Structure 1
Amino acid sequence: MALEELYDQEDTPLIPPPKDAGKPRHTMMSASFNFINSIIGSGIIGLPYALNQAGLPFGLLLLIFVGFITDYTIILLIKGGNLSGTNSYQALVQSTFGFPGFLILSALQFLYPFIAMISYNITTGDTLTKVFQRIPGVGPGHILAERHFVILLSTLVFTLPLSLYRNVEKLGKVSLVSMLLTLTILIIAIIRAATFGPQIAPTPNAWAFAKWNAIQAVGLISFAFICHHNSFLIYGSLEKPTVANWSRVTHASVGSAVIFSAAFAVAGYITFTGYTQGDLFENYCRDDDLATFGRFCFGFSIIATFPLECFVTREVVTNVICRRELSKMEHVLVTSLIVLACTSLSLPYDCLGVVLELNGVLSATPLIFIIPSACFIKLSPGRKLQCENVLPFFLILMGFFVMITGLIMIALYPQDCSHGVEMFYCLPDNFSSTEPPPRNDRLFG
């Protein structure tokens, strides 16, 4: 079936219907909220650093390009589901490439949200500890300023209970709140770009069109935009799951995420230019109350996003190991083990940038560029070198290039972080805000 013929069937629902048919459904707006929320997670905090790596103009072009590819390949997945008669990402890949393909996809689909949840916990520990330290009487030695305690507290009180929901549509209102909090963060970043940015002299080469380590930026941006692992889950929760409705949800969600992400990335980068770190909130001074409010909003936004990733991770475990619907006891046990594993791994490590880069090139890139394109090419009848397959072929080649080159660059040029270290421009007694600091490999590795 040619691609243009597939468009004529856009109002035909997936066959077979999603396995949760009969359960409460999303409206298209509610589905869009969940979809946008799944895109704009902790990855957005690293987008200003992606511009620092790639150069402001070229970084924005890369962001728009990855957004376009995200939109294109998400719709390819659902069309591939129509062609193969499948209703999940894993079923699509198994139908297309057999059991080996199913295992590879399952590993990637588990790895991405699992590492994402680790990054969410790291972000929560980084941001909320600084929020609590603004409370009178809470100093650096206080238990509320201890990142390990904050991560454990947020896990027990918020992320674990929310992750125990069985139906993703119940998170629609939580996702809306998360989006409003993230919008608040954007406004704060713009305000600080106008009020704090002029106090910090731009670094040399700050406005260069492109920089040599742009490949690492592609990994960060891919991490920020990956949502393919949620696609069938959210698609199946639509009131009327058709390709036409899904295309509208996808265009609205990805388009909104691109605009939002670009605005945040630019605001963050022009404030700090070459000093921009993997976690933008590490750049703001500890006594900046407006930034502290932004940290508070982002911390709870991340807590609200965590359950969406846990849903996907749990579904992969269910499909690969159990291969049946979990009982209530099994559901609680599997969810608790996943959350416990993420929490355990996030406690000893606090450098967000490397986690985002590694997840971007290792799991997000094949999930965005390679697998959807390969499935569509394999399922397309007729000659493989027909016009509609040119872009999928290009995306496969580009995906492998980004993966291999990105992993090499991460190994050769790892990013250090400065968790808990005040930036030089926050220390007026030691440095002028217009003078560059002495070289510090911990800050500028």
Structure 2
Amino acid sequence: MRLAGFPLGLLLLIGVAYVTDYSMILLIKGGSMSGTNTYQSLVSKTFGFPGYFLLSVLQFLYPFAAMISYNIVTGDILPKIIQRIPGVSHDSWYVDRHVVIVLSTAVITLPIALYRNMEKLGKVSLLSLLLTFTVLVIIIVRATSLTSEIPHTEDAWDFARSNAMQAVGVMSFVFMCHHACFLIYGSLEKATVGNWSRITHVSMLLSLFISLQYSVFGYVSFTGFTQGDLFENYCREDNLATIGRFCYAITIILTYPMECFVAREVISNVFFGGNLPYPLHLAVTVAIVSLTTAVSLVYDCLGMFLELNGVLSATPLVFIIPPACYLKQSEKPWYHLDNAMPLLILLLGVVIMPAGFIMAILYPQECSHGNEMFYCLSANSTLNMTFGSTK
């Protein structure tokens, strides 16, 4: 919302959700038309080895970068939660973001990521969804008090801003799940295009509803001060925000292994023919987790990372490859009226990808990770009273 402008941002969010929904169905339709059951085999049959190689790179980079993003969020959130424990000093070694990331990875995310079957994460996904709603309620409740305490920026309600392309990249990152479509489609009891379409519509509508609520109440609270990681905007002494941070941290930690499954699946398909014996399964998982952890220890600007991953990985996976495969597999010519929507989505992707990348490089986002926002310091007593601090 901050990048695009609030009204335009809402329209773009709805548009990206629609395109994502449409292209996910196109992907499965393309697989059905070509007799393939994986994203890689579909692209390989459609565009040969060059297409297969490009897709494999993108399919690996997207979940890999997502895992790094989740670690960055963990490093932002968990130290602030630990600091709220009575008797814990802000200078303690175990509240350092690097220590927190390493410990949470070693103790929680790596053991879960070592599972071989994604079906075992079903209950984890349900818990993650419930916690997401809990966090949303907290953000809505906080918005009622923060809107009167935090000054709005002068351009808070501009219809559109010049960074809209960067916003589309972030939104594409948020909604993109094409890399896992065939894995989930294959796990359905009744795997048909019609059943997949119904599940996709319901899932995307729910995702859009949650995203709109986060966007509206998060942006209304902080307007032009909104950070890439929204919880960086809340004051450290805010008790309710601390509960929200805790729920959100669990959600992020439980989502991380699902991305690891996809990254590992790509490596398995490309280098080992889709069959990883357990020693290799263990080695590949540890290698992926170690690399993502190492990058997240060095890099901590979430917003910039989401932009680049969105335009370079998510945009081609959402806007370009699914409609391109469908148009190539379709018996009707590309200019046929029935192919108008896939063609339009393809053209949008061709424009958004380079434009979004150039904008992200020329106008990088600023970050203030780990620092208190100015309104927490300048009006400390008023905000602490509003937030119900125990300090």
Which letter maps to 1:143? W
List aligned pairs for 1:18-29, cutoff 5 A: none
Is the contact between residue 424 and residue 430 of structure 1 (CA under 8 Å) also seen in structure 2? no
Q: Could you tell me how far 1:243 is from its partner in structure 2?
A: 0.9
Distance in 2 between residues matched to 1:182 and 1:134, nearest whole Å: 22
Q: Tell me the equivalent position of 2:24.
A: 74
Q: Deviations over 1:274-317 (max 9, x none)?
A: 11111111111010011111111111101110111011100100
Which letter maps to 1:341? L
Q: Tell me the equivalent position of 1:405.
A: 355
Q: Tell me the equivalent position of 2:183.
A: 233
Q: Tell me the equivalent position of 1:40.
A: none
List aligned pairs for 1:339-358, cutoff 5 A: 339-358=289-308
1:296 maps to which of 246, 260, 268: 246
Which letter maps to 1:267? F
DSSP-derived class of the 1:71 partner: helix
List aligned pairs for 1:86-97, cutoff 5 A: 86-97=36-47
Distance in 1 between residues matched to 2:180 and 2:121, nearest whole Å: 13
Q: Could you tell me how far 1:431 is from its partner in structure 2?
A: 11
Q: Deviations over 1:85-119 (max 9, x none)?
A: 00000010001000000000000000000000000
List aligned pairs for 1:252-401, cutoff 5 A: 252-401=202-351
Distance in 1 between residues matched to 2:96 and 2:283, nearest whole Å: 28
Q: Could you tell me how far 1:330 is from its partner in structure 2?
A: 1.1
Is the contact between residue 351 and residue 419 of structure 1 (CA under 8 Å) also seen in structure 2? yes
Q: Deviations over 1:239-263 (max 9, x none)?
A: 1111111111101111100001001
Q: Tell me the equivalent position of 1:213.
A: 163
Instruction: Confirm whether residue 55 of structure 1 aligns to residue 5 of structure 2.
Output: yes
Which letter maps to 2:257? P
Distance in 1 between residues matched to 2:163 and 2:96, nearest whole Å: 34
Distance in 1 between residues matched to 2:150 and 2:292, nearest whole Å: 37
Q: Tell me the equivalent position of 1:169.
A: 119
Q: Tell me the equivalent position of 1:195.
A: 145
Distance in 1 between residues matched to 2:27 and 2:189, nearest whole Å: 19
Is the contact between residue 133 and residue 144 of structure 1 (CA under 8 Å) also seen in structure 2? no
Unaligned runs of 5+ in 1: 1-50, 434-445
* TM-score relative to the length of structure 2: 0.96
Is the contact between residue 303 and residue 365 of structure 2 (CA under 8 Å) also seen in structure 1? yes
1:204 maps to which of 144, 150, 154: 154
Is the contact between residue 34 and residue 42 of structure 2 (CA under 8 Å) also seen in structure 1? yes
Q: Could you tell me how far 1:429 is from its partner in structure 2?
A: 5.9
Q: Deviations over 1:201-242 (max 9, x none)?
A: 211021111112111110111110000001000000011111
Is the contact between residue 23 and residue 322 of structure 2 (CA under 8 Å) also seen in structure 1? yes
Q: Deviations over 1:347-381 (max 9, x none)?
A: 11111111111100010000000000000000001
Distance in 1 between residues matched to 2:341 and 2:191, nearest whole Å: 26
Which letter maps to 2:190? K
2:82 maps to which of 128, 132, 151: 132
Q: Could you tell me how far 1:144 is from its partner in structure 2?
A: 2.5
Distance in 2 between residues matched to 1:363 and 1:218, nearest whole Å: 12
List aligned pairs for 1:30-49, cutoff 5 A: none
Is the contact between residue 44 and residue 52 of structure 2 (CA under 8 Å) also seen in structure 1? yes
| Aligned residue pairs, count | 383
Q: Could you tell me how far 1:430 is from its partner in structure 2?
A: 8.5
Distance in 1 between residues matched to 2:239 and 2:53, nearest whole Å: 48
* TM-score relative to the length of structure 1: 0.84
Which letter maps to 1:319? N
Which letter maps to 1:221? M
The structure whose residues are more often helix, as a share, is 2
Distance in 2 between residues matched to 1:69 and 1:164, nearest whole Å: 33
Unaligned runs of 5+ in 2: 384-391
Over the aligned positions, Cα root-mean-square deviation in angstroms equals 1.3
